[in-house]
């Protein structure tokens, strides 16, 4: 009885101390991050939480930011460059498809395999990501993702037979998958995650903008072959290897495992994220959302060139520039709306962005004018841009820290799968019905995103 009474007297002042610091904005932001796992607790978590309330207060005081410690400045820059390389890789598919068709004498269905093969790489990344972190830390991620990119682009630059090309894209997909999950999970745990993730994915959009721009210009204006573009990608990947390895060199397995233990949670990893009832809902809804989102994004960016050539009767260079416009809109949207989203609240913001993208998709579909379509698809990219960062922010708020790498890695892999499966399915339908099937497919998936977003748990006024 005496032990129970002393336990009660300890808990009450801790509650009062938490309420006392609530008005401070910086602490409130940190408290939100530190308490993100408390909204979805299992019965075991609820019964044991009062026994040791101090680690939560410790997490509040040690929350990292983009410039604290100062080494994070370099790590942020390196991770941004890594996502830029990933974006250039993904967006180049759409710009290169017309030339791959001609070079290898392929139809829509077979050339669509360039979208499908990275799916295997993303799935492998999802299964290995947590293990790589536990064994090698973020340093291992930096080296592995960069080497995968370099190896893939060296082979592609030699324009191998088409079956080899498809296999090599699996290697590039694996590199994308491990980088995507690692940098999203890490930045999602920093202070002002909404803004930082917005810029992270803005750099992905920058890559998505310059990739088609460089490829189209080299081919149509420079008279070079499609595979010449991958010499540029080799150079970018070498910079990625140097920058990421140097920035994360001291972030080995010991540092990662120490950070996980500091979260004072039981480390059960992927199994808990996927099958433990309080957390599984968030993980699976986030995964399905990104499956549809990345699928719609890559389908639109990947098939827009063919759509403009075949349906809008545009010239090759003009059609390639519409792909650039889409990715540019995506980039600007992520950079600008990343600051608007926290003001609106992430839940409300997405409920505005998705219907706006749907309305622009209708304009793109129903108004048969090249310039109208080009403007509509650019604005559509603007409103689609913030959706990926929004999902990561919600997940890092609702899930405890020890599940972030596993859960974010899983949803990123499923999202990458959507970026493979949906464009492939679009190509298969285009083979049978024509490339105009792109528009109703995109509209349907945007509607699905809206429904899935409404199924997420409520964040609450203070946490939103």
pLDDT of residue 423: 84
pLDDT in tens, 302-355: 788 888 988 888 888 888 889 889 989 988 998 888 889 889 998 899 999 999
194: nearest Cα among 334, 317, 309: 334
* Mean pLDDT (the chain, rounded): 80
Q: What is the pLDDT of residues 437-452, one digit of tens each?
A: 888 989 999 999 999 9
Assign residue 90 the CATH number of its domain: 1.20.1250.20
CA separation (Å) from 135 to 13, 125, 250, 253, 407?
A: 40, 14, 14, 5, 18
Q: What are the residues facing 65 on neighbouring strands?
A: 68
The pLDDT tens digits for 138-185 are 899 999 999 999 999 999 999 999 999 999 999 998 999 889 888 988
- 24 within domain boundaries: no
58 domain residue, yes or no:
no
What angle, 0 to 180 degrees and rounded to 10, lies between the N-to-C axes of helices 404-433 and 113-156? 110
Is residue 14 predicted with pLDDT exceeding 70?
Answer: no
Q: Quote the pLDDT of residue 265.
A: 44
Number of domains in the chain: 1
Which H or E run includes 369? none
Residue 66 lies in a domain: no
Q: Which residues contact 197 (CB under 8 A, 6 or more apart)?
A: 184, 187, 188, 338, 389, 392, 393
pLDDT digits (tens, 9 = 90+) for 92-108: 887 888 899 889 998 87
Give domain status of residue 3, yes or no. Answer: no
Between CA 79 and CA 244 the distance in angstroms is: 7
Residue 17 domain-assigned (yes or no) = no
Q: Is 119 helix (H, G, I), strand (E, B) or coil?
A: helix
The pLDDT value recorded for residue 57 is 35
The residues, ordered by sequence, that sit 6+ positions from 67 with a Cβ below 8 Å of its Cβ are 73
* pLDDT in the model for residue 175: 93
Q: Which of 311 and 264 is assigned the larger pLDDT? A: 311
Give kind and range of the element (H or E) at residue 102: helix 71-104
In sequence order, what are the beta bridge partners of 68? 65
CB 400 within 8 A of CB 273: no
CA dist., res. 287 & res. 295, Å (int): 12
The candidate with the shortest Cα–Cα distance to 349, out of 331, 334, 371, is: 334
Average pLDDT rounded to a whole number, residues 51-76: 64
Mean pLDDT calculated for residue range 56-82: 77
In a domain, 47, yes or no: no
Q: How far, in Å, CA of 442 to CA of 462, rounded?
A: 34
Per-residue pLDDT band at 64 (split at 50, 70, 90)? confident
What is the C-alpha radius of gyration for the chain, rounded to an integer number of angstroms?
Answer: 23
Give the tokens for residue 264. 């004072």
Range of 95's domain? 71-454
Is 144 within a domain? yes
Q: pLDDT at position 245, please?
A: 95
The pLDDT-based confidence of 18 (bands split at 50, 70, 90) is very low
Mean pLDDT of 269-293: 83
CA nearest 425: which of 413, 411, 442? 442
| 351 occurs within a structural domain | yes
pLDDT band at 417 (very low <50, low <70, confident <90, very high): confident
Report percent pLDDT > 90 for the chain.
Answer: 33
Whether residue 416 has pLDDT greater than 80: no
Residue 204 has pLDDT above 60, yes or no: yes
Sign for the pseudo-dihedral over CA of 62, 63, 68, 72:
positive
Between CA 400 and CA 264 the distance in angstroms is 10
């Amino acid at each position: 009885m005496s032990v129970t009474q002393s336990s009660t007297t300890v808990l009450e002042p801790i509650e009062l101390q938490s309420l006392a610091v609530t008005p401070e904005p910086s602490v409130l932001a940190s408290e939100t991050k530190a308490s993100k796992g408390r909204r979805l607790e299992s019965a075991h978590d609820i019964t044991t939480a009062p026994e040791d309330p101090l680690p939560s207060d410790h997490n509040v005081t040690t929350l990292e930011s983009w410039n604290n410690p100062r080494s994070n400045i370099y790590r942020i820059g390196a991770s941004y460059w890594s996502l830029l390389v990933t974006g250039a890789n993904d967006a180049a598919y759409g710009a290169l498809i017309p030339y791959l068709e001609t070079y290898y004498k392929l139809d829509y269905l077979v050339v669509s395999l360039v979208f499908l093969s990275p799916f295997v790489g993303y799935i492998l990344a999802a299964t290995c990501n947590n293990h790589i972190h536990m064994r090698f830390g973020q340093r291992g991620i930096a080296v592995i993702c960069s080497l995968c990119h370099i190896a893939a682009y060296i082979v592609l630059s030699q324009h191998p037979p088409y079956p080899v090309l498809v296999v090599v894209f699996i290697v590039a997909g694996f590199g994308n998958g491990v980088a995507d999950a690692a940098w999203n999970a890490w930045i999602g745990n920093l202070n002002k995650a909404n803004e930082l993730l917005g810029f992270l994915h803005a750099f992905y959009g920058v890559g998505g903008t310059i990739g088609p721009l460089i490829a189209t210009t080299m081919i149509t204006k420079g008279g070079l072959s499609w595979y010449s573009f991958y010499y540029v990608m080799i150079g970018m990947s070498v910079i990625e290897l140097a920058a990421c390895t140097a920035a994360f060199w001291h972030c080995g397995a010991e540092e990662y495992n120490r950070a996980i233990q500091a979260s004072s949670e039981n480390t059960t990893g992927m199994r808990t994220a996927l099958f433990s009832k309080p957390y599984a809902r968030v993980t699976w809804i986030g995964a399905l959302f990104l499956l549809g989102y990345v699928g719609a994004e890559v389908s639109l960016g990947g098939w827009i060139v063919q759509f403009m050539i075949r349906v809008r009767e545009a010239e090759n260079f003009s059609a390639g520039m519409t792909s650039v416009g889409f990715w540019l809109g995506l980039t600007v949207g992520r950079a600008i709306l990343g600051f608007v989203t926290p003001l609106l609240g992430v839940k409300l913001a997405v409920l505005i962005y998705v219907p706006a993208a749907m309305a622009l998709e209708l304009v793109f579909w129903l108004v048969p004018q090249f310039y109208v379509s080009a403007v509509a698809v650019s604005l559509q990219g603007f409103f689609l841009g913030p959706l990926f960062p929004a999902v990561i922010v919600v997940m890092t708020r609702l899930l405890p820290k020890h599940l972030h790498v596993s859960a974010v890695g899983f949803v990123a892999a499923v999202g990458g799968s959507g970026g493979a499966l949906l464009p492939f399915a679009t190509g298969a339908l285009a083979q049978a019905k024509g490339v105009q099937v792109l528009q109703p497919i995109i509209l349907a998936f945007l509607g699905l995103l809206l429904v899935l977003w409404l199924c997420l748990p409520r964040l609450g006024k203070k946490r939103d």
